Structure 1
Amino acid sequence: MRAIARTAAILAAAATALLLATGSAGASTGTEHDPVSTPDATTASVLVTKLTHSDAASRLRSSGITWSSSGNCSDRSKPNCTSFDQVNLATIQGAQTLKSATGCALNVTGGTEVGHASGTYSHYNGYKLDFALSSCLTNYIKGTFTSIGGNKWRAGSGNVYYLESNHWDVTFYNCGGC
């Protein structure tokens, strides 16, 4: 029994070290204010499933979620594109859960492309999506979730919704009850 517990502890430590090591690798720092908050122990997940842009786009499309970019492109290496390459499955499922719960039209305006702030729970690492502002989405978030100050609201799932000047910046620690 002790051997199993010790092995589990070693695996958990290795997974945490891997997550922390990859959290800052490759992420680009941009001028956008992109707060990164740390989830509590019940919302964090160490192992994540990454999707290709094509798979993520297909999943969003099947839920009626649209996306756009100022550059009309999906190249992850260009900040004016909207890319879903290497997005977390739970992030896409979280967007689908949000669409289902709100009934609002959702348009993703930011994904995993460079140009956002770095950090473990960042856009580049697949945890965040930006959504275009709409009164439907804003009313739902403000009326349903708990205000935690600083233009941020936390869902019961632990996901954090941050109202920036021209979009909602959402950190999906999990799928939001999918």
Structure 2
Amino acid sequence: MMRRPVRPAALAASATLLAGGLLTAAAPAASAAPAKYSQAAAAQMLRQAGIAWTSSGGCTDRTNGRCTSFEQINRTTVAGVIDFRRAGNCAVTVTGGTETGHAPGTYSHWNGYKVDVSPTSCVSAYITTRFRHIGPRPGDHAQQYQSPAGNVYAGEGTHWDITYYRGSR
């Protein structure tokens, strides 16, 4: 089995975040639950990648549906948004995270698998021309597109509802 080298800068950044209490460290578990970020750690990672976010309530409280929260977001979800930003070379603004008020389910916002992103012309063009159209989503009929990594981008009109499965299957 081939191992990927660990970049010293990534190790140093993780160690700094961990030491500062920004990351939640957990012992390896048999159930392999997704690794999570705190609000502060996720915000820092997104900010460093040039990703903006907005909240209709101007807040980050996870229990308030008018806020945009990253508390308990999966690390793979944050990595997915960052990868999307870099690949598409588009300005990306997150409008929904792990706050209450979204549809429930295993691969839900609350469980850290989803984010909502503003549908700029650049973002929408990248999704609809680079990803495979997989038809309407049952229930709301939002048109869905699937990336080569298996992530699903659903156009809900006012935003793209993105489910990052990477690391969960």
- Alignment match of 2:72 (pick from 86, 104, 107): 86
Q: State the Cα deviation string for residues 86-125 of structure 1 (Å, max 9, x = none).
A: 0000000000000000000000000000000100000000
Number of the residue aligned with 1:3:
none
Name the TM-score, length of structure 1 as normaliser: 0.73
Percent identity of paired positions between Structure 1 and Structure 2? 47
State the one-letter code of the partner of 2:111.
Answer: N
Q: What is the distance in 1 between the residues matched to 2:166 and 2:48?
A: 20
Amino acid at match of 1:138: S
How many Å separate the matches in 2 of 1:148 and 1:128? 18
Of 112-121 and 166-175, the range deviating more from structure 2: 166-175
Deviations 1:146-174 (A, max 9, x none): 00001000000000000002000000011
Q: Aligned partners of 2:109, 2:128: CA distance in 1, in Å?
A: 23
One of 49, 59, 84 as aligned partner of 1:63? 49
Shift of 1:60: 0.2
Query: In the comparison of the two structures, how many residue pairs are matched?
Result: 133
Partners of 2:126 and 2:94 lie apart in 1 by 17
C-alpha distance in 1 between matches for 2:118 and 2:60: 17
Structure-1 residue corresponding to 2:161: 169
Gaps of 5+ in 2: 1-28, 137-142
Secondary structure at the aligned position of 2:78 is classed as helix
Letter in 2 for 1:82: T
Give the whole-Å Cα distance in 2 for the aligned partners of 1:116 and 1:79: 8
Per-residue CA deviation, residues 63-107 of structure 1 (Å, 9 max, x unaligned), is: 000000000000000000000000000000000000000000000
What displacement does 1:133 show? 1.1
Q: Which has the higher helix share?
A: 1
Partner residue in 2 for 1:125: 111
Residue in structure 2 matched with residue 41 of structure 1 by the alignment: none
Partner of 1:152: helix, strand, or coil? strand
Equivalent in 31, 38, 59 of residue 73 of structure 1: 59
Name the SS for the 1:60 alignment partner. Answer: helix
Listed as ranges, the matches of 1:133-152 within 5 Å are 133-150=119-136, 151-152=143-144
Runs of 4+ displaced beyond 3 Å: none
Q: Bigger relative contact order, structure 1 or 2, given CA contacts below 8 A and separation 6+? A: 1
CA RMSD of aligned residues (A): 1.3
Partner SS, residue 84 of structure 2: helix
